[in-house]
Homo-oligomer: A and B are copies of this chain.
Amino acid sequence: MERGPVVRITDVAALAGVAPSTVSKALNGTGSLRESTRAKVREAADRLGFVPDATARSLSARRSFTVGLLSTDSAGRFSLPVVLGAENALVGGELSALLATARHDPVREQHHVRALVARRVDGIIVTGRTTEPREPIRVPMPVVYAFAPSVDPDDASVVPDDATGMRLLVEHLVALGRRRIAYVGGRAEQAASTVRHDTLVAELAARGLELVGPALYGDWSEQWGRRAVDAVLGRDPGGAVADGAAGGAPAVDAIVFASDQLARGGCDRLRERGLRVPDDVAVTGYDDWDVMSLASRPPLTTVDMQLERLGQRAAELLIAAIEGEPARGVERLAPRLVVRASTLGDG
């Protein structure tokens, strides 16, 4: 903590024997100066450890070179990677990131928005806890919504493409010969549950298949994943036997879970019921949340929404908007299929 007095441009100017304006030009490569002069100034600046005051620079540039990262929730499992991806991309663009977490409280959010406006951030990236569309914020600078899109179609939003995610899963399962596929969702009222269901049904239909049984909804816990397996296979613990199917075979040969957490619980329950994953029943998750997808037994085939890339993309769009080329509308970012043992055996 060397608390030496801060070095100002005038100090550098004095040491180099030039005017402050010359120092500015020399260090920023502007103006017309002799190379020897630039070198002399650089030398003096280095010697003093001069770091130009970004505050002053901002004031005259009328730009803060700062972007606000407004997270509706407490930067949880989903918004965190988005925030990190964005921060990363911003740093590359010489921008700094102001973190503002609203913890799901509109008052706090409003407070943060005001603070960001007061700081004259060049733009704002808004993220949320879920993919539910949200009300836009009203600020005098560009905004990009990531993960949770804005309800206003004129705003720029970047969201994971669940439809593609489900299509990848269905392609994979069908290619493996699975035909009797069931679906287990999370909370019924959330888009993540319902969109994935609807897309799954559509993708199956496109291949002449039908979902086995009704969609099951509960919450996002492993426990629900376990119980859902019972609901799919029938209550009696041993009875994995299908009605009319070949003797001893379960009623389904694959279960698509709407999250890794659900899938992990599902795998546990299947094993407890004496069924082999994936030999008897293939299982897929969603999110590729490593502590779930890798710790699951077996590890989960799942969909990686690439949330960091999502954040990165949001940052790119925001930077473009700041530079005068705003985007509008919802951009869907294709996810990546991650194949592991829950569908491929020891593959």
Contact = CB atoms under 8 A, between A and B. Distances in A.
Interface of A: 1-4, 6, 51-56, 58-59, 64, 66, 69, 74-75, 80, 83-84, 87-88, 91, 96-101, 103, 108, 111-112, 114-115, 117-120, 136, 138-143, 155, 221-223, 261, 265, 291-292, 295
Contact of A120 (B54, B114, B120): B54
Dominant SS at the A interface? mixed
Given A52-B118, A88-B103, A96-B98, 17 more contacts: A1-B138, A1-B140, A1-B141, A2-B138, A2-B139, A4-B140, A51-B117, A53-B120, A54-B119, A54-B120, A55-B59, A66-B98, A87-B100, A91-B108, A96-B115, A98-B99, A221-B295
A56 B54 contact: no
Contact of A118 (B53, B84, B138, B295): B53
A83 B64 CA distance: 23
A83 B120 CA distance: 23
Contacts of A112: 91
Contacts of A80: 75, 80
A51 B99 contact: no
Given A2-B138, A140-B2, A155-B1, A87 B99 contact: yes
Contacts of A138: 1-2
B96 A97 contact: no
Given A98-B97, A99-B97, A295-B221, A51 B118 contact: yes
Contacts of A265: 295
Contacts of A108: 91
B84 A96 contact: no
Contacts of A83: 75, 99
A336 B44 CA distance: 54
A344 B99 CA distance: 41
A54 B118 contact: yes
Contacts of A1: 136, 138-143, 155
24 contacts: A1-B136, A1-B142, A1-B143, A2-B138, A2-B139, A3-B140, A4-B140, A6-B120, A55-B59, A55-B120, A59-B59, A66-B98, A75-B75, A75-B80, A87-B99, A88-B103, A91-B100, A91-B111, A91-B112, A96-B98, A97-B99, A98-B99, A223-B295, A261-B295
A58 B138 CA distance: 24
B101 A98 contact: no
Given A1-B139, A98-B96, A140-B6, A51 B221 contact: no
A114 to B, nearest CB: 7
